[in-house]
Amino acid sequence: MLVRLPTGPEYALAVEKEHRWLPVLAPAVPLDVPVPRARGVPGPGFPHHWSVYRWIEGETATEPPSRTRRRSPSVSQGSSSLCNGSTRPADRAPAPTTGFGGGPLTTYDGWTRAALETLDGLILTGAAEELWERAAQAPWDGGPAWFHGDMAAGDLLVKDGTLTAVIDFGTCGVGDPACDLSIAWTLLTGRGRAAFRDRLEVDEATWRRGQGWALRKALVVCAGAVRDGDGLPADASFVLEEILAAH
């Protein structure tokens, strides 16, 4: 089993959400998801609500891009099944606990433009700004669907080169599922990304919004590192290179 101890009150909000909704989502998700076993309450030794889950075998999908390329087709098959937006919301479905996943990209416009200003001269900010504006303006005409909300590589489990599970549903909610498409650029490359898109059969506007989510995060992470005097971080820089090279 796994004991999960939230590090702050905002993350502790996810405990009730996951215990309420993971049993509802699990039958509809074609990958393994955490199964809540017990819920702990605040006490003298720990100030927040906490959880016990069934252990899921696998390794987090946080490998170098060179290895990711080799396994991209199998990962893209599993992740496209998760990101197809076919899981329709139940009554009283939750909003995200943290972040703004499922909502409009324009929420992040100020942060993104501040990051572009910081990175001017270090990356192709003109191309990045053009891509951001296209993504932010891309319309969402679909109905609301469940989304994970934080589809980072560390929340995906791989076994024998195949994506088998997704964890950490604290930011799940109902809205525009394009936010989960960011893994097309943060995890996949080349043929894997093409296979991912083909399997999803998403329209151009949805694909652009998904790219915008990946672009926004990479820009903000890079800008933060530059402001701290650390230089451009390798993982976020790789995402930017993948997005800008395609452009």
Please list the residues that pair with 39 across neighbouring strands: 51
Task: With respect to residue 4, please indicate whether it lies within any of the assigned structural domains.
Answer: no
| Residue-wise pLDDT tens digits, 131-156 | 999 999 999 887 778 888 888 888 88
Rounded to whole angstroms, the Cα distance separating 210 from 226 reads: 25
Rounded alpha-carbon distances, angstroms, from residue 22 to 54, 68, 99? 12, 28, 19
User: What is the domain count for the chain?
Assistant: 1
Residue, of 112 and 98, whose pLDDT is higher: 112
Domain that holds residue 163: 58-246
Task: With respect to residue 103, please indicate whether it lies within any of the assigned structural domains.
Answer: yes
Task: With respect to residue 71, please indicate whether it lies within any of the assigned structural domains.
Answer: yes
Please list the residues that pair with 175 across neighbouring strands: 145
Rounded to whole angstroms, the Cα distance separating 82 from 28 reads: 9
Find the CATH number of the domain harbouring 236: 3.90.1200.10
Task: With respect to residue 34, please indicate whether it lies within any of the assigned structural domains.
Answer: no
pTM as predicted:
0.86
Rounded to whole angstroms, the Cα distance separating 169 from 61 reads: 16
| Residue-wise pLDDT tens digits, 99-134 | 678 889 999 999 999 999 999 999 999 999 999 999
